[in-house]
């Protein structure tokens, strides 16, 4: 595949169930280094507003933590990371950190059990957001298959959107001081008791943050009013279920990775591929060529796709494969690596 030089996806950080890996494309060849944090779950990789690398590390025995690095090689664990007070009335525990998001000079973290934390010093120290963490009635929230987790955060100015699985989307107009629900038009994942929406991923238009696309448990949706109303947009998709969604902010191209169904979480007919839309989600088509034709039964998780604004997309699978494109999805290349189960993909 013809590769354009100096794309963001030429340097990738891959978080897996067993450590993090770095993939670099130089001189027409890909190389892999790692693992970093060998044996540990790496669930999120990102940068703070000043460019410091951040990694979310987890263990079933030792808990979750944030690590920082200036070079993606040497890491230091922060001492005051996201953490619930030990005497909180609901007995909330921080099981895993699943996402980071920068909003101006502040960086947010979304965690399991569902909560929102922020840092104003490049990830060195963290505080909770009471409007989410102490939401009235949250004792009735129920986890999805992937836990009770704040998986996705969007922002624009004083506005915030937080997607929680399996609860729904919350919107703030005042920097997180208060939130309202934003799920009208989306089919609930469960209607037993209080309706619950299982948000898998969100992506917004950089130039008009009221335009948001949503891969949900019950389909793919779009809103043009910040989440007040959602409409289903699945024309051309082989299945409505999936986890990852991304957008090229320059071309407006959307990308999703369909999976057969909730009860059968493998690609349709064993054919893994990404679908794209070039008309805001009105219609979808398989993105380009280069996909395995059959016998590929591994899907992609919600944090396992990254889209840059230069035509680059990278996606990792639960089977440890990585696929990349440099031409907005026309041609794809499977990289010569086989990694542990991939949890997140980031440009570095």
Q: Is 24 part of any domain?
A: no
- Antiparallel, parallel or unpaired: β 106-112 and 63-69: unpaired
Beta strands 199-205 and 127-128, pairing class: unpaired
* CATH at 240: 2.130.10.10
Q: Can you give the residue range of the structural domain that contains 293?
A: 38-304
- SS3 of residue 188 by DSSP: coil
Residue 82 resides in a domain: yes
Cα angle 314, 348, 203; round to 5: 55
Full strand arrangement of the beta sheet holding 333-334? 305-307, 313-316, 322-325, 333-334
Instruction: For residue 134, count other CB atoms closer than 10 A to its CB.
Output: 14
Please give the tally of structural domains in the chain: 1
Looking at the DSSP bridge assignments, the partners of residue 115 are: 111
What three-state secondary structure class fits 208? strand
pLDDT for position 62: 87
Structure tokens at 114: 């569902």
Tell me how far apart the alpha carbons of residues 9 and 307 are, in angstroms, rounded to a whole number.
8
Does residue 320 lie within any of the structural domains?
Answer: no
Q: Are 150 and 143 in contact (CB under 8 A)?
A: no
Q: Is 1 part of any domain? A: no
Which residues are 310's β-sheet partners? none
- C-alpha distance from residue 193 to each of 114, 188, 189, 226 (Å): 19, 11, 12, 26
Residue 278: count of CB within 10 angstroms of its CB? 17
- Note down pLDDT in tens along the chain; length 348 residues: 333 345 688 999 999 999 999 999 998 999 999 999 999 999 999 999 999 999 999 988 889 999 999 999 999 999 999 999 988 999 999 999 999 999 999 999 999 999 999 999 999 999 999 999 999 999 999 888 888 999 999 999 999 999 999 999 999 999 999 999 999 999 999 877 678 999 999 999 999 999 999 999 999 999 999 999 999 999 999 999 999 999 999 999 999 999 999 999 999 999 999 999 999 999 999 999 999 988 999 999 999 999 999 999 999 999 999 999 999 999 999 999 999 999 999 999
The alpha carbon torsion through 6, 8, 10, 12 (nearest 10 deg) reads: 160
pLDDT for position 102: 98
Q: Is residue 226 part of a domain?
A: yes
Residue 177 CA to residue 185 CA, distance in Å, equals 25
**DSSP letter string, 12-79:** EEEEETTEEEEEEEETTEEEEEEEESTTSEEEEEEE-TTS-EEEEEEETTTEEEEEEESSSSS-EE-S
| Residue 236 placed within a domain | yes
The token duo for 73 is 């090689």
Task: Report the pLDDT value the prediction gives residue 144, as an integer from 0 to 100.
Answer: 80
| pLDDT score at 333 | 97
pLDDT of residue 60: 82
pLDDT at position 78 is: 98
* pTM tops 0.85: yes
Asked whether residue 182 is domain-assigned, the answer is: yes
Is residue 293 a part of any domain in this protein? Answer: yes
């Amino acid at each position: 595949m013809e590769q354009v030089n100096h794309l963001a996806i030429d340097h990738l950080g891959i978080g897996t169930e067993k450590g993090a890996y770095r993939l670099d494309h130089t001189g027409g060849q890909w190389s892999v280094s790692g693992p970093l944090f060998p044996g540990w779950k790496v669930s999120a990789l990102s940068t703070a507003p000043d460019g410091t690398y951040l990694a979310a590390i987890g263990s079933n025995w030792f808990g979750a933590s944030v690590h920082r690095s200036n070079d993606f090689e040497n890491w230091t664990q922060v001492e005051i990371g996201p953490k619930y007070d030990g005497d909180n009335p609901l007995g909330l525990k921080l099981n895993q950190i699943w996402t980071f998001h920068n909003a101006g000079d502040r960086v947010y973290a979304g965690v399991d059990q569902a909560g929102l934390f922020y840092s104003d010093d490049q990830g060195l120290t963290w505080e909770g957001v009471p409007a989410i963490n102490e939401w009235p009635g949250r004792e009735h929230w129920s986890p999805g298959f992937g836990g009770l987790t704040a998986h996705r955060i969007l922002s624009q100015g004083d506005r915030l959107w937080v997607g929680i699985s399996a609860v729904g989307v919350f919107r703030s107009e005042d920097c997180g001081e208060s939130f309202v629900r934003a799920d009208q038009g989306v089919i609930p994942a469960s209607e037993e008791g209080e309706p619950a929406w299982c948000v898998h991923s969100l992506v917004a238009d950089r130039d008009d943050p009221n335009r948001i696309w949503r891969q949900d448990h019950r389909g793919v949706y779009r809103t043009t009013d910040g989440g007040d109303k959602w409409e289903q947009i699945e024309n051309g998709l082989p299945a409505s279920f999936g986890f990852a969604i991304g957008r090229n902010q320059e071309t407006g191209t959307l990308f999703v990775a369909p999976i057969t169904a909730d009860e059968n979480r493998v690609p349709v007919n064993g054919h893994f591929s990404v679908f794209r839309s070039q008309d805001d989600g009105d219609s979808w088509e398989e993105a380009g060529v280069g996909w395995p034709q059959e016998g590929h039964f591994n899907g992609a998780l919600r944090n396992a796709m990254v889209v840059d604004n230069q035509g680059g997309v990278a996606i990792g699978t639960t089977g440890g494969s990585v696929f990349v494109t440099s031409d907005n999805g026309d041609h794809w290349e499977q990289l010569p690596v086989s990694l542990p189960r991939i949890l997140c993909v980031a440009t570095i």
